[in-house]
A = this chain, B = another copy of it.
Amino acid sequence: MPVEIHPTATVYPGTVLGEDVKVLENAVVGKQPSLSPRSTAKREPLPPTEIGDGTIVSTGAVVFAGSRIGARVILGDQSCVRERVTIGDDVVLGRGSLVENDTTIGALTKIQAEAYITAYSTLEEQVFVAPCVVTTNDNFMGRTERRHELVKGPTIRRGARIGGGAILCPGIEIGEEAFVGAGAVVTKDVPPRVVVVGSPARMLREVPDEELLDD
């Protein structure tokens, strides 16, 4: 099937679109970043965006140059993917969500509406991020020179689930198949296959067997 690009969409030259890709109303694909003179982000020239077969870039979504999106991905309405992001196959990115620069997202992961994935994050495969989850990467919030070497987003291991509105402090690791309850504020690493809840998050119990991935 041919690529479909809505007449109101903007797709920059050089963008690589797989078969059957759809780019919906007002979406913008292949945008180069407009960095502030004060930004600490990298300034190398960015290669074009690559988008895999069957992926849909929904209404009003923005995808930056230098990112590679897999096949059969849905980038939701009004979502945004920054530069140097790698997104695996069959990922769903919810409406209004944001994936910041230099982040990797594994296949089959679902990031729901309005979630915020900070720069320098790693999400493995089959992760579930509920709506409005907040991630962070800088304990110094812009102060001190050494923060630059310490900036680190979360590492969310295969099959972990993060509940609605939960907040992950910088550099946290969420173990395989762990479960973070809605509204939890996670201040330290979470071991595999445990449930944590509360502010600050504390362990509640193990994840029941019937909720584990069965492969």
Chain A contact residues, CB within 8 Å of chain B:
6, 8, 10, 22, 24-26, 28, 31, 34, 36-39, 56, 58-60, 62, 72, 74, 77-78, 80, 90, 92, 95-96, 98, 100, 110, 113-114, 116, 118, 128, 130-132, 134-136, 138, 140-144, 161, 163-165, 167, 169, 179, 182-183, 185, 198-200, 210-213
Contact = CB atoms under 8 A, between A and B. Distances in A.
Given A114-B98, A116-B131, A59 B58 contact: no
Given A37-B72, A136-B182, A116 B114 contact: yes
B165 A182 contact: no
Given A10-B8, A10-B25, A199-B185, A143 B116 contact: no
A25 B28 contact: yes
A182 B183 contact: no
Contact of A95 (B56, B80, B128, B167): B80
Contacts of A36: 72, 74, 90, 92
Contacts of A134: 131-132, 164-165, 182-183
Contact of A163 (B39, B118, B136): B136
A119 to B, nearest CB: 10
B163 A183 contact: no
A80 B78 contact: yes
Contacts of A169: 182-183
Given A134-B183, A142-B161, 11 more contacts: A34-B74, A36-B72, A60-B62, A62-B77, A130-B141, A131-B134, A132-B167, A135-B164, A143-B212, A185-B199, A199-B199
Contacts of A92: 36, 38-39
A149 B190 CA distance: 30
14 contacts: A6-B10, A26-B26, A36-B72, A60-B60, A62-B77, A62-B78, A118-B131, A130-B136, A134-B164, A134-B165, A136-B165, A141-B161, A165-B167, A183-B199
